């Protein structure tokens, strides 16, 4: 059973082809700088030895349609796919599903219209996701296509967690509320955590920390998200590569008055020039750690601030959950930075959270745990597999559909 997963951005399309029966990746890659003179197609596929071999092509790719054609050609030329009809389905990552989509959804014209209607809530993402959907539907009309939403996992939040304390009308008329993001990652690592602990997910209380370029924390009770740090948009919450995370909203009005910056300029400031980049000039955690090691005070402060913010969320979600079975680190920083993992957990032995520094310094592609013998809470490092989760949810969606269609 072959499933193609597509993540379409404004100037790039990422893809990954899975054989879900053998549970392997057959090919993956991306077309980037679409619309520019020099677009790049990076394609990885399995060679005869079973290793992933990479090829890079540089050529003009005018638009998403041309990009999708290049992906189709790369998949067939490399032998990963002989015909699009071999695909059981295509799964599309869609960032914002609003309150309309709680589950992976088979795409039809009505679904496309709804995703378009939700675009004001995610103006950078949903239109780009839609472009990918539309070209894929035209290129492979016979293949079922499924939208998997970043927000869907957090639709289980109770109202007290998702409402903002502003007049009700803004929620009812303008859908202003917390939605949360990185849902496929939080739900995937929560399930993996249950496997590692060898306990049923519906009996577990977890805090999942997705720490990548974008970062978010979730409180997961019995497999359901009950709170999460990102809000109506992915700007709220933890300190990120270039995003501020939580700030006093009054700063925006103060900056407007003091500096004369327009609203959209402040939006760009908070999304693109803040976070790690705003504090110390670098947005990549590897560079920040290196600068800090070399004695750069600003980089050292950035690391302290990042860890302090995460620690505050751990404390808050611990209180909300009442009992904590495991703390889960995932995504680029969560999986690969012992320094940040240790920093977030420092001084929490009295809450039963204690890292073993030797275990924490381990490197590996597989999941591992890093808690000390005294730690009452398990501390897990679990590589996230968002595309694989999208592929799994895509299968679930089409199988449900066929089951319900064949039901008497």
Question: Least CB distance from residue 220 to ligand AMP, whole Å?
Answer: 19
Q: How many residues bind ligand AMP (CB under 6 A)?
A: 12
HSE-CB for 73 with a 13 A CA cutoff: 10
User: How many helices and strands in the chain, by DSSP H and E?
Assistant: 15, 14
Q: Which residue is nearest to ligand AMP (CB)?
A: 332
242 binds ligand AMP (CB under 6 A): no
Q: From 12-20, 25-33, 329-337, 385-393, give the range in contact with ligand AMP by CB under 6 A.
A: 329-337
331 binds ligand AMP (CB under 6 A): yes
Catalytic machinery residues: 150
**Residue with smaller CB distance to ligand AMP, 155 or 228:** 228
* Exposed/middle/buried for residue 259 (C-beta within 10 Å: 0-12, 13-18, 19+): exposed
Question: What stretch of H or E contains 146?
Answer: strand 145-149
Residue from 40, 311, 336, 359 touching ligand AMP (CB under 6 A): that is: 336
Site pattern 265..284 for ligand AMP (x: CB under 6 A): -------------------x
DSSP string, 39-105: EEEEEEEE-TTS-EEEEEEEE---SHHHHHHHHHHHHHHTTS-S-GGGEEEEEEEES--TTT-SS-E
118 binds ligand AMP (CB under 6 A): no
237 binds ligand AMP (CB under 6 A): no
**Residue with smaller CB distance to ligand AMP, 215 or 379:** 215
- CA proximity to 384, closest of 240, 184, 216, 222: 184
**Residue with smaller CB distance to ligand AMP, 153 or 329:** 329
What b-and-e string marks burial along 206-241, b requiring 16 or more CB atoms within 10 Å of the CB? Answer: bbbbbbbbbbbbbbbbebbbbbbbbbbbbbbbbbbb
**Backbone torsion region of residue 224, taken as left when φ is above 0, otherwise alpha when ψ lies between -120 and 50, otherwise beta:** beta
Q: Please enumerate in sequence order all residues whose Cβ is within 8 A of that of 137, keeping only pairs 6 or more positions apart, or say none.
A: 107, 145
**Residue with smaller CB distance to ligand AMP, 75 or 333:** 333
Question: Least CB distance from residue 62 to ligand AMP, whole Å?
Answer: 28
Neighbours of 36 (CB within 10 A): 12
Distance CA 198, CA 189 (A): 14
Question: Least CB distance from residue 343 to ligand AMP, whole Å?
Answer: 12
Question: Least CB distance from residue 154 to ligand AMP, whole Å?
Answer: 19
Q: From 12-20, 105-113, 188-196, 325-333, give the range in contact with ligand AMP by CB under 6 A.
A: 325-333
Site pattern 165..204 for ligand AMP (x: CB under 6 A): ----------------------------------------
Question: Least CB distance from residue 253 to ligand AMP, whole Å?
Answer: 31
Cβ contact 355:344 at 8 Å: no
285 binds ligand AMP (CB under 6 A): yes
332 binds ligand AMP (CB under 6 A): yes
Residue from 213, 268, 300, 372 touching ligand AMP (CB under 6 A): that is: 213
Dihedral over Cα of 189, 192, 197, 201: its sign: positive
HSE-CB for 40 with a 13 A CA cutoff: 7
300 binds ligand AMP (CB under 6 A): no
What b-and-e string marks burial along 285-316, b requiring 16 or more CB atoms within 10 Å of the CB? Answer: beebbebbeeebeebbebbebbbebbbebbee
**Residue with smaller CB distance to ligand AMP, 135 or 211:** 211
**Residue with smaller CB distance to ligand AMP, 291 or 337:** 337
Contacting residues toward ligand AMP, per CB under 6 A: 212-213, 241, 284-286, 289, 331-333, 336-337
């Amino acid at each position: 059973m072959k499933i193609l997963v597509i993540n379409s951005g404004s100037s790039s399309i990422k893809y990954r082809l899975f054989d879900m029966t053998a549970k392997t990746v057959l090919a993956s890659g991306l077309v980037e700088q679409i619309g520019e003179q020099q677009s790049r197609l990076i394609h990885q596929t399995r060679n005869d030895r079973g290793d992933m071999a990479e090829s890079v092509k540089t050529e003009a790719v005018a638009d998403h349609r041309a990009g999708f054609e290049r992906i189709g050609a790369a998949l067939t030329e490399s032998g990963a796919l002989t015909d699009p009809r071999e695909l059981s389905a295509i799964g599309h990552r869609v960032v914002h599903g609003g309150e309309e989509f709680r589950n992976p959804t088979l795409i039809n014209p009505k679904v496309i219209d709804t995703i378009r209607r939700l675009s004001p809530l995610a103006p950078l993402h949903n239109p780009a996701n839609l472009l990918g959907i539309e070209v894929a539907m035209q290129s492979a009309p016979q293949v079922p296509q499924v939208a998997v939403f970043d927000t869907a996992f957090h639709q289980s939040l109770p109202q007290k967690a998702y409402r903002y304390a502003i007049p009700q009308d803004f929620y009812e008329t303008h859908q202003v509320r917390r939605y949360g993001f990185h849902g496929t990652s939080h739900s995937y690592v929560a399930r993996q955590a249950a496997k590692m602990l060898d306990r049923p997910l519906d009996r577990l209380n977890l805090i999942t920390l997705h720490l990548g370029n974008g970062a978010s924390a979730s409180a997961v009770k019995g497999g359901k998200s009950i709170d999460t740090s990102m809000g109506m948009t992915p700007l709220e919450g933890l300190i990120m590569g270039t995003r501020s995370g939580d700030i006093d909203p009054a700063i925006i009005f103060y900056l407007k008055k003091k500096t004369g910056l327009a609203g959209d300029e402040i939006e760009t400031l908070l999304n693109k020039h803040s976070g790690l980049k705003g504090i110390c000039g670098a947005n990549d955690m590897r560079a920040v750690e290196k600068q800090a090691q070399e004695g750069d005070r600003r980089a050292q402060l950035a690391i302290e601030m990042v860890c302090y913010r995460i620690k505050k969320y751990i404390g808050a979600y611990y209180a909300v959950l009442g009992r904590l079975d495991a703390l889960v680190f995932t995504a680029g920083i969560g999986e690969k930075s012992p320094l940040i993992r240790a920093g977030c957990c420092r001084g929490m032995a009295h809450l039963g959270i204690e890292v073993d520094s030797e275990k924490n310094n381990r490197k590996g592609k597989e999941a591992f745990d890093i808690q000390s013998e005294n730690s009452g809470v398990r501390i897990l490092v679990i590589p996230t597999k968002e595309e694989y989760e999208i592929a799994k949810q895509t299968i679930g969606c089409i199988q449900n559909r066929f089951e319900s269609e064949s039901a008497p």
